[in-house]
Structure formats: structure tokens, C-alpha cells
Amino acid sequence: MQGSTETVISQERNGQGRNGIAAALARQPLVILALAAAGLTLALSITVTMPIGPMYWDHYIYLDAANRILDGQIPSVDFFAPVGGLGYYLFAGWLYLFPNGHPLLLSSWSLLTVTAPLMALVILDVQKRSPAIAYGLLLPFLIFSLLPFNTGDFYPYPGSDGFGIYNRQVCQLLYVLAAALVFVRGWKTLAAVTALAMLALLFIKVTGVVAGLVLCLMAFVAGRLPLRAAIIGGAVFFAVIGLMELTSGMVSAYATDILSLVVINDTSLLPRLLQAASLNFGIVVASCLLGLVLFIQGFQAFSNATRSVFAKPGFQASAEVFDQSFLWIASFIAAGLLFESQNTGSQAFIFLWPLLLAILIETYRNKGSSVAFAAVAILALSAAIPPVATVTQKAARAWIGSVNNTPLAHQNLKTMGAVGMRDMLSQRAQRLEANYMAYRPAYQALAEAGELPSFLLYSDFEFQTLWLQNADAVISAIRTFEAANKVRFETVMTIDFTNPFAWLLDRHAPKYIAIGADPYRAVPPPGERVNAAVAGVDLALYPTCPPTTARLKLLELYAPALAADHHRITLTPCYDAFVRNGITASP
């Protein structure tokens, strides 16, 4: 009997202990953020095999950029980049800290260096009033930050989203900024988060800071961003920009790159806005309908506020006019459409959630469990749920499906080669490679006619698989060539979209040459210093399985600089190379 009593008391104490821990966690959402960070550290301490995915090679750009940065090159100053340099610097730092981490995960998660501390500031402010709201902001943030997947579908087969990384990062920064503008009450915290988030947006992608500016202007005119917070935040923003320009010249060089991109991509904005709206049709329509419902429900308050501003002009009265839920929705949708109009791959409109959460809370307080609240809740959730559902579904499909994948066999690809694919895709890649080699003139003619072998060639898994296999083979061929000729290629470039070879070979990439080399969107016509850099490169690799329109265009751009001092050889059946004459005698 005594033993039974002690057992019961022990169970009660254990239960109270567990309840106490649960209660403590409920009041401290930052513990969850810290646990997530610890989990990332563990995940990056080993090399995780990722399933191959559409446009998977996009993230190799980060390896090229990191190799250049660790060589002392500065983005925009020493090489042309399609976006800002912050993401590349963060990746380079994480690659140094986690050499075994998979490059795709490193490039996606490295932004947490910025977003996690900023989100912690937001949570610290919000949890003082409501831990539940703090969790409501934190948990979606963690889902979008930890699952490196886009909200849009560009390929039917499940796999890793290796593209649109900096677009996802901008959306995650906009989420933190939106959470601060809507929920943070401490003006010092708001000033700090706003300034740092806007700086990060600027140096991730310039269209991100345009979208962030729309959010900040809305918060300012609505009285949510106090004047002193705006002034101090703006002062910090411009002071950091000025300091960076004085010390490195990066800002003016970045501006020059942006202008070059504008010249290359001179299409009208309206078609891009319509495309962005169509790609995110469900979210846009649900948000617009929500704005209409909120306008109808709040029309009387809006009318009263408008009359008050004429009767008693002033900033406070003006702020009451603008601080209307339907105007907030309109500004957020406008910001999202502006940003998404320039994107392929993103976590589109995830930053709507903090605003939608605030609208749900305010409507429930005012309307209670009513039809009016139900209408708002249905429309708000219709806009909020699709991004979460899409990202989690794509992650589940990719990683559950990867149990049937076979890891890529390679010798030279380091962590970049930690990728798996279905056996049937590997077999298809080998059959296509044989076809590319046997019928190369036909594929050359197709490329010269302006067509690809497949409209979705760069998304096709077999193309991405074959690219990796050929990269592994050409590195072996380079080392064999070097040993046979007693030479060493110190500078390596590719006449292709991406150049991870300098990193894979522990060599150097030449200065001034664009990374992420899409000749139709992100490679300006080479000037004098680019031509000089190309002319001085030791080895320029040119893939030929298959010839593509982009590869032909890049060869056309760089061939004049290679003509005088380089000779062309065949390294493998799928790679030609331009070797500098000063390295070895012509065969």
C-alpha cells in the first residue's frame, strides 16, 4: 500500500513536471527558435543526400560566388552578379563553418543569420502581450525558412527546388518585416528591425527593397511606424550604405549592375504583373475579396475618419484614415505583385500571414462568432493556407520519394555531388548522352535554329543528372591532362550557366565574368576588362552534351577574346576546352 502511494505521488510529480515544462514552452516561443537553430547545426554537420530537382544547377552559383569571395573578390566590384552580394557572403561564411553541409541547404538556410535574430526581436516584443500570437508568427516563419521549397510548381515530378533561392530569401525577409510593422509596439525594436530588414532586402535583391518600401510607407501613413522610428531606421540604412560605398565601392557597382540588367530585360512591367497575378491567382483573388469584405464592413468607420481629417487636420487624423484593413491588404498585394513580377521560383505572398493574423484577431474582437467574422476567416485562410500546404506537400513528396533514389556515383564533386535520383532517370541520362554524342550535328543545328531539345530541358531531371556526371568526368580529364603535360590551370571558367569548377578543383575563377550566366537575361555584352579577363584565363570549359541556345550565345560572346591566345581541344566526349597557349604547346 505504501509503495502504491509513493508510485502515485511520483507519477503526479512527473506529470506536474511535464506540465510545467509545457507551460514554460508555451510562454517562451524563443526556445522553439533556439531548438530549430540547434537542429540545423546537426543537419549541416553531415552531408545529406538531396533528391535531384528541376533547375537544380541554380544553386551551384553560390559555390562559384563563395569561391570568388574567399579569393578576395567583391560581388559587383570584381564580378557581375544578377542579385546583391549578401546571400553569397552568408553562404560563404556557412560553407566555411559547415564544410560537410549540403550546398543547397547551406544556400537556403544561411539567411537565418539575418532573419532569426530579427524574428527573435519581434517575438520578444510580441510575447509580452500574447505568447499565442508570438507562436502564430514564429511557426509559419520556421516552416518557410526550414523547408527549402518554392510555392509555385514548374515541373510535375517531385524533387529539390534548387532555383529561386534568393527570391525565397526575400519573401522570408518580407515576412519578418511585415510581422514587425503589424505587431511590434516598441519603437526602438521597430526601428532596428525595419532598418536591418531593409538593408538585407537591398543586398539580397533590389526588387525586394522596393516591395519592403511599399510595406513601410503603408505602416508610416497608418501611424504604425512612428516618425522617430522611421527617421532612425532611415539614418541607419543610409549610414550603412554610405560606409559600404566608401570602404568597397560595392553600392555604386551594384547600382551599375542593376542598370545593366534593366537594359537587358527591357520588357514592359504590365505583362509581368499580369503573369505574377496569374501564377498566384488563388491568393490574389482571395485577398482582393477579403479587401472588399473589409471595405464593406469598415466603410462607416472609414467615412467617419475621412470627415474627421477635414474637420481637424493633423497626422493622427490622417493616420486613422489610412489605418484601414482593406488599405493594408491592398498595399501588401501591390508589394507582392511588384516583387513576383521579376521572379522565377519564390515563396510568393507568405508575408501576408502576419497581416491576415492581425485582421482575424481584430475582426473577432469586434464581431465575435458572427457571420461577418466567418466571411473574413474563410477568405483570410484561403489566402494563407495555400503557401503552407504547397511547401509542406512538395517537401513531403521530394523526401518521401527519395527513398527510391540511388546516390550519384562520383569522385570529384565534393558535397555538390550528394544527390540522388531514380534509376530510370539515370538510365535515361545515359541513353540521351549516347544520342547527343552520336548525333551532335543534329543537336547543333537545332540550337542554331534557336530551339532546345526539350522546352523544359533545364528542368528535366535527366539533364541535371547528366550535367553532374559530365562535370565529374571532365574534372578527372583535367587532372589527367595536367599530369600528362606537367601543367596546372590556375584560373578556370565555363562557357555555360554556372561555374562550380574553380571550387571543385580548388582553383581561381577569373574576375569580371558574370555568374549565373544566362545570356538572354543576366550577361551584359563584354567590355574591355571582361575581354581581358577571358583572354587571360588558363582554361575555359565548353559543354557539348547537348549544344544549347544559351551555350552558343555565350560562346559567341566570349570567342573573340579566346581566339588569339587559346586553342580548342576535346577533354571528354561531352566537354571541349579552350587552353591558353602559354600553358602548353598546341597539339
**Domain residue ranges in the chain:** 80-91+102-398, 422-580
Q: What is the pLDDT of residue 582?
A: 83
Nearest to 551 by CA among 513, 515, 518, 512: 518
Q: What's the CA gap between 333 and 337, in Å, rounded?
A: 6
Q: What is the pLDDT of residue 308?
A: 76
Phi, psi of 571, deg, nearest 5: -85, -45
Q: What is the pLDDT of residue 22?
A: 63
The alpha-helical segments, DSSP class H, found in 223-280 are: 227-248, 250-264, 269-279
Q: What is the pLDDT of residue 192?
A: 97
Q: In what order do the strands lie in the sheet with 50-51?
A: 50-51, 419-421, 406-407
Q: What's the CA gap between 163 and 294, in Å, rounded?
A: 37
Q: What's the CA gap between 87 and 95, in Å, rounded?
A: 12
Cα separations (Å) of 251 from 10, 66, 474, 503? 64, 19, 37, 26
Q: What's the CA gap between 324 and 329, in Å, rounded?
A: 9
Maximum alpha-carbon separation in the chain: 98
Q: Which three cell numbers stand for residue 172?
A: 522570408
Nearest to 75 by CA among 88, 62, 59: 88
**CA angle (216, 218, 221) in 5-degree steps:** 105
Q: What's the CA gap between 63 and 69, in Å, rounded?
A: 10
- In the chain, DSSP finds a helix count (H) and a strand count (E) of 25, 7
Q: How many CA atoms lie within 13 A of 176 on its CB side?
A: 33
Q: How many CA atoms lie within 13 A of 493 on its CB side?
A: 28
**CA angle (211, 523, 170) in 5-degree steps:** 20
CB 178 within 8 A of CB 332: yes
Identity at 36, one-letter amino acid code: A
Identity at 495, one-letter amino acid code: I
Q: How many CB atoms lie within 10 A of CB 316?
A: 11
Q: Which three cell numbers stand for residue 566?
A: 587559346
Q: What's the CA gap between 382 and 285, in Å, rounded?
A: 9
The alpha-helical segments, DSSP class H, found in 98-130 are: 103-109, 112-127
pTM for this predicted structure: 0.93
Give Cβ neighbours of residue 8 (< 8 Å, ≥ 6 apart).
none
Phi, psi of 421, deg, nearest 5: -150, 160
Residues facing 85 on adjacent strands: none
Q: What is the pLDDT of residue 272?
A: 87
Q: How many CB atoms lie within 10 A of CB 431?
A: 11
Cα separations (Å) of 178 from 215, 321, 409, 425? 7, 20, 44, 42
Any idea which residue has 505602416 for its cell?
Answer: 219
Which DSSP letter does residue 151 get?
S
CB 425 within 8 A of CB 461: yes
Q: What's the CA gap between 536 and 528, in Å, rounded?
A: 12
CB 148 within 8 A of CB 66: no
Per-residue pLDDT of the chain (587 residues; tens, 9 = 90+): 444 444 444 554 555 556 666 666 667 899 999 999 999 999 999 999 999 999 999 999 999 999 999 999 999 999 998 899 999 999 999 999 999 999 999 999 999 999 999 999 999 999 999 999 999 999 999 999 999 999 988 888 899 999 999 999 999 999 999 999 999 999 999 999 999 999 999 999 999 999 999 999 999 999 999 999 999 999 999 999 999 999 999 999 999 888 888 888 766 778 888 889 999 999 999 999 999 999 999 888 878 877 877 667 666 767 888 999 999 999 999 999 999 998 888 999 999 999 999 999 999 999 999 999 999 999 999 999 999 999 999 999 999 989 999 999 999 999 999 999 999 999 999 999 999 999 999 999 999 999 999 999 999 999 999 999 999 999 999 999 999 999 999 999 999 999 999 999 999 999 999 999 999 988 989 999 999 999 999 999 999 999 999 999 999 999 999 998 999 999 999 999 999 998 864 44
Which DSSP letter does residue 577 get?
E
Q: What is the pLDDT of residue 124?
A: 96
CB 579 within 8 A of CB 565: no
